[in-house]
Structure 1
Amino acid sequence: MPRLPRPPLRRAARSRADGSLAHVAEPDTPNVDEVESEGLRWINIERPRAVDRAWLEEHFDFHPLDYEDVFSRNQRPKVDEYPDYLFVVLHFPVYDKRVNRLNAAEVDIFVGPDFLITLPNEPLAPLQYVFDRCRTNEDVREDMFNKGAGYLLYKVIDACVDASFPMLRKMGLKLERLEEAIFEEEANREVVRDLSNAKQEIINFRKIVRPQRAALKDLERTKRYVTGELDIYFDDINDASERVWDMLENFKEVIEGLEATNESVLSHRLNDSIRVLTAFSVIMLPLTLIASVLGMNVGVPGEGSIHAFWVTIVIMLSVLTGMILWFRKRGWL
């Protein structure tokens, strides 16, 4: 059974933007935040470092491979069951504004009979929101903690899964704007670039959600800390995950359809331009033929006469007018 000591944690004060003080770990101090109620402890370690690993290894008897998974990159979502605890690895989408790209945030979770340890590899707003509510609101803390570690695990995962829906709504609105922009005359290059960015976001989102579906199903099937009435709660998480996947499948079809539509629109505009240029070329062809014949270095009727020149001009204008009227009648102009 993992040991659960309660050593005092040294913190350094840092001012927030609103003037309040936030406590952060010193460089050589474990960055451990914890909340306790009803005999249950929630320990949150954001961006665990070597000193945090040493703290965990000192106070918990977790398997060495689990520690390696926590501090390794690109670990796949999974659920490992041990006699005394569960080790869960999950991925959730986060939008990185610095590079304007959707990335995966990994959360490693240890679940025991009287503790929950969350270790996100980067700031995850939904998880931090739930943790802060438990820390600052006694009623919320008692409501979440008095049903055991399994229920607290459900609340954490449910908040992180539900955070995907606002991102998906924004993605849907972006696709709607792209659909309207496709038929605008002055947005060809921008539309192609935006379509490419939207498609990349959908691909990245799918890469995060696809392997997670199996892990959430495994979590629902396990009977360690997920028993009795908790089954229906974790089934709700699976339903939400499937809705996320269904929306991504629809977005994938939509973006592929928009790409095909955009290519058709570009091809149609190109055909219109080529048609107009071809029509003008054909219209000018008879005029070029007349001018070439009369410009030959041989004797021609009316050579040297100003009247013959004006007659030729009238003939060429008549041919030009006739060709334009005929092309317009056929719908080529």
Structure 2
Amino acid sequence: MVQSRGTILTKLRALKKSETAKALKEFKPTKRLSPSITQKPQAAQTTVLIRRADKEHPELLAPERISDELNSPDVLLWVDIRDPGAAELKMLTQEFDFSPLSLEDALKQRQRPKVDEYPNYYNIVIYAPLDTDVNRELQMTEVDLFVGQNYIVSLHPGHVPALDLARRRWEQAKPALADRVGFLSHIVVDSIIDACFPIVDNIEDRLHQLDATMFRGNRGANPEELLVVKRSVFALRMALYPLREAFNEFPKREHSLFDLETHPYFQDVYDHILRLLDIIDIQQDMVAGATEAHLAFMSNQLNETMKTLTVVGICEAAAAAVFGAWGMNVSGLPLAHVRIGGIDVGFWLVCAVTLALIGLALMWLKRRGMW
């Protein structure tokens, strides 16, 4: 029996929905901070903030009341979910009708930073730093943002300090802009990007310290410290470089979700990304230079050690040649039975000849610049 095209499409949609529901039901999230760091799973925490047009500051809202407020025209919601699980993702599917593709990316984590456009919302994937300590390898965590007409949803594993800063900025923002989803999106993204500036400043200070250690302290750099700085710079570049292209095109699109007044704010985010990438490119060159300087210093130190060993070896060879010749168990060796005033001085004469040969060898090495 031949089925119509409409019947086939209907069955495919039903199959896709059933597979998505099954994946959400069986999903066990893995909390990843970076490609090499995994965080222990924790209980999910959902924080919902609502800002009404007649209020100066956002207020907390119970998660079960999202559906009651979502369709209100004069409210702006921020749903922040820490360590999301299957129940939270199912709630997002029911309340916001997100595409299975964007939810799949949020489930898998370790996505490439990007900005995807869907019919009713945007999906922004961005990486946020967790601390500014350059004495250990930089840790970054993925933050998935879903931006709709009057809401923004943020999903992330663990605690993200940059989101705390974004919340404080939103609470202190002027009411004229604070109730617009474009401005709130800018606050969240800009807070995450700005959190990278203290890190690059600390990395630059650390590189200057390594240079001072090598060139002023007359010793090589600590390879472990140099490797930590190198990996931190590389992690920042991986997190920011894809955003350059994404946010270069993002302000130029015709956004039905954002007001024209909020477009310059995203241009500001793009400028910050370019500035960070310029600094990171310079720091990559500094890391490469520090690595080459460290290797050159170690090679020079090895050459100095080999020179010292060569001098010692030549002196020992001269002494070994003399003592080896006069130490043979044969009769008739020169100076073996020399007596002065009835005292045997042959041994002392051999020692004097040995010291003279060593002195001549040292003079010759000195003239050749080896000592």
TM-score (norm 1): 0.80
Tell me, yes or no, if structure 1 residue 82 matches structure 2 residue 118: yes
Structure 1: unaligned runs, 5 residues or longer: 1-26
Counterpart pick for 2:287 among 236, 255, 262: 255
| Residue 162 of structure 1, CA deviation | 0.8
| Residue 330 of structure 1, CA deviation | 3.7
Alignment map for 1:1-333 (pairs within 5 Å):
31-38=46-53, 39=74, 40-95=76-131, 100-135=136-171, 137=172, 140=173, 142-146=175-179, 148-183=180-215, 191-224=222-255, 225-226=257-258, 228-296=260-328, 297-305=330-338, 306-333=344-371
The aligned counterpart of 2:61 is none
Give the aligned residue type for 1:168: V
CA contact (8 A) 2:129 2:140 kept: yes
Cα deviation 1:12-39 (Å, max 9, x = unaligned): xxxxxxxxxxxxxxx6x97232131322
Give the aligned residue type for 2:356: S
- Aligned with 1:32: secondary structure? strand
Distance 2:275 2:259 in 1: 24
| Residue 203 of structure 1, CA deviation | 1.8
* Aligned residue-pair number: 300
| Residue 240 of structure 1, CA deviation | 0.9
Distance 2:132 2:204 in 1: 19
CA contact (8 A) 1:181 1:191 kept: no
Give the aligned residue type for 2:138: L
Cα deviation 1:33-71 (Å, max 9, x = unaligned): 213132222222222222222322232222232222222
Cα deviation 1:153-183 (Å, max 9, x = unaligned): 1121111111100011111111111122235
| Residue 243 of structure 1, CA deviation | 1.4
CA contact (8 A) 2:190 2:269 kept: yes
Q: Say if 1:238 and 1:329 are closer, same or farther in 2 by CA, change over 3 A.
A: same
Structure 2: unaligned runs, 5 residues or longer: 1-42, 54-73, 339-343
Distance 1:218 1:124 in 2: 27
Distance 1:303 1:145 in 2: 105
CA contact (8 A) 1:106 1:120 kept: yes
CA-atom RMSD in angstroms? 2.7
Q: Say if 1:71 and 1:327 are closer, same or farther in 2 by CA, change over 3 A.
A: same
Distance 2:323 2:289 in 1: 51
Distance 2:112 2:359 in 1: 72
- Aligned with 1:102: secondary structure? coil
Q: Say if 1:279 and 1:314 are closer, same or farther in 2 by CA, change over 3 A.
A: same
CA contact (8 A) 1:106 1:122 kept: no
CA contact (8 A) 1:91 1:106 kept: yes
Q: Say if 1:287 and 1:71 are closer, same or farther in 2 by CA, change over 3 A.
A: closer
Cα deviation 1:89-120 (Å, max 9, x = unaligned): 222333498x9432332222222222222223
